[in-house]
A = this chain, B = another copy of it.
Amino acid sequence: MDDNFVKEITNIDEDFAKWYTDIVLKAELADYTDTKGCIAMKPYGYAIWEGIQKYADQKFKETGVENVSFPQLIPESLLQKEKDHVEGFAPEVAWVTEAGGEKLEERLCIRPTSETIISTMYSKWLSSWRDLPFLYNQWCNILRWEKETRPFLRSREFLWQEGHTIHETEKEAIDRARQMLDIYANIAENLLAIPVIKGIKTESEKFAGAVYTYTIESMMRDGRALQSGTSHYIGQNFSKPFEIKFQNREGKEEYAYQTSWGISTRLIGGLIMAHGDNRGLKLPPKVAPIQIIIIPIAQHKEGVLEKAFELKNQLSKMFRVKIDDRDKYSPGYKFNYWEMKGVPVRIEMGPRDIEKGECILVRRDNGEKIIVKLEELNKKIESILENIHNDMFQSCKERMEEKTSVAYNLTEFKNHMEENQGFIKAMWCGKEECEDKIRELTGAKSRCMPFEQEHISDKCVCCGEHADKMVIWGKQY
């Protein structure tokens, strides 16, 4: 019975996609539903999202952002107003055509993103430069009718936050878009222990309607990239058709400068794929719904459970702790169960440990066992959790470095992609046809032009013509 769980999970090196789905289901993060392409998030999965929300929401508010709520149904005429935007989103929206027993005169789409409905309201609310900036965000659900879906990674309905700001000047708006990207990088690295590359999307990969799209890109265990958060400088692309105008300091009418930015439940997919292993999920301590699981050994013996609950109370003041006192399962079964759930620290405590006034700590990330005196436990765990976070981050970082190659021509590009699937750094001339050719030949797309550029050569990896942009390429989720 002890390795039940490990056997139930597909080997990560044999079939990464199936391993992923196994983890989603077995670790009880989510489940498939009768609504095709949409998942139900179970308590354990949702608690991770709550952890992300809490951290992100606080960071947003520290910069002056306020939360709001806009309608989820958008009249078709509004969606049509910005040309690139409607081209990008119309093919994947869902339409409400009947309601209250009647056919509607105008179709309403369920928001695939909210720039349009929000822009109409901003137009109504804005009059003077004194009103600016608007720094609003909403936590809500989104619907995009994807053909191929996967839990968390690409779900028809998903949860996210979308920030929408308008500003007096281009500079202020661009600074805000960059500032929010920095917060996203902070969330990925300091909360989720996932290192990211910050950069700007190429024209063909940017958000439909944006001037620039900034992105954080992370690498999963299989070398594929996950776009983990994006922040768009929208310029006046929406403020012109939607007439978001204000009287500027010179008394003249001007269109506002706009941004939007979002992260979603996709990050949970990232957590699974960046950290998980053959024993299951592996959660970084700061976002783990349960940081410590206490497993009493020989719990039927006198005093064991009592001591275990005492310990739980002691630890609960500082950490998120749970005790597994189910009597129908053996300790071995429980070890596997909670490893699969990714709990960062396990505490084992039996009669002999109690006698010696100690317990055994086991780290989920590397399996290390540590014997700790009970009176030192709180302090010790504090530093162990810190170490786990750092080690998990470091291990992802090393993998990203190992799986990043440099290519000077298409043959090298193709070989690297086949031999060491991951990121490829290569120069690019700026032409979309080179991006297309690379994708057709290798399956890799441009992930971003990193802010931290390196001068690799002067020639485009594809056409050999002059190139001054280094691009990170990779296959993507």
From B35, B93, B107, contact of A108 by CB (8 A): B35
Please provide the chain A residues from 70 to 90 with a CB less than 8 Å away from any CB of chain B in the complex: 70-75, 78
How many residues belonging to A are interface residues under a CB distance threshold of 8 Å? 55
- Nearest-Cβ distance from residue A389 to partner chain B, whole angstroms: 24
Do residues B101 and A94 form an inter-chain contact, with CB atoms below 8 A?
Answer: no
- Give Cα A124 to B42, complex, Å: 13
- Let me know if B41 and A68 touch, CB within 8 A: yes
Chain B residues positioned under 8 Å from A66 (CB to CB): 43, 46-47
User: Which residues does chain B contribute within 8 Å of A39, judged by CB atoms?
Assistant: 71
With A41-B69, A67-B47, A117-B35 in contact, is A95–B94 under 8 Å at CB? no
Find residues 20-75 in chain A having any chain B CB closer than 8 Å to their own CB. 31, 33-35, 38-43, 46-47, 49-50, 66-75
Measured CB to CB, the closest approach of chain B to A204, in angstroms, equals 22
The verdict on A6 contacting chain B, using a C-beta distance below 8 Å, is no
Tell me the bound Cα distance from A121 to B30 in angstroms.
11
Give how many copies assemble into the complex: 2
Docked pose: A121 CA to B67 CA in angstroms: 31
Beta-carbon contact of A73 and B38 below 8 Å = yes
Which residues from 135 to 193 on chain A have a C-beta closer than 8 Å to any C-beta of chain B? 136, 140-141, 143, 145-147, 157, 159
A155 to chain B, nearest CB (A): 9
List residues of chain B with CB within 8 A of the CB of A33: 70-71, 117, 120-121
Closest to A108 in B: B35
Q: Does A110 contact B (CB under 8 A)?
A: yes
| A residues at B contact (CB < 8 Å) | 31, 33-35, 38-43, 46-47, 49-50, 66-75, 78, 91-101, 107-108, 110, 117, 120-121, 124-125, 130, 136, 140-141, 143, 145-147, 157, 159, 328
29 CB < 8 A contacts A-B: A33-B70, A33-B71, A34-B78, A34-B117, A34-B120, A35-B108, A40-B69, A40-B71, A41-B68, A41-B69, A41-B70, A43-B67, A46-B66, A46-B67, A46-B68, A47-B67, A69-B159, A71-B157, A72-B143, A73-B94, A73-B143, A91-B101, A94-B98, A94-B99, A94-B108, A95-B99, A96-B96, A100-B145, A100-B147
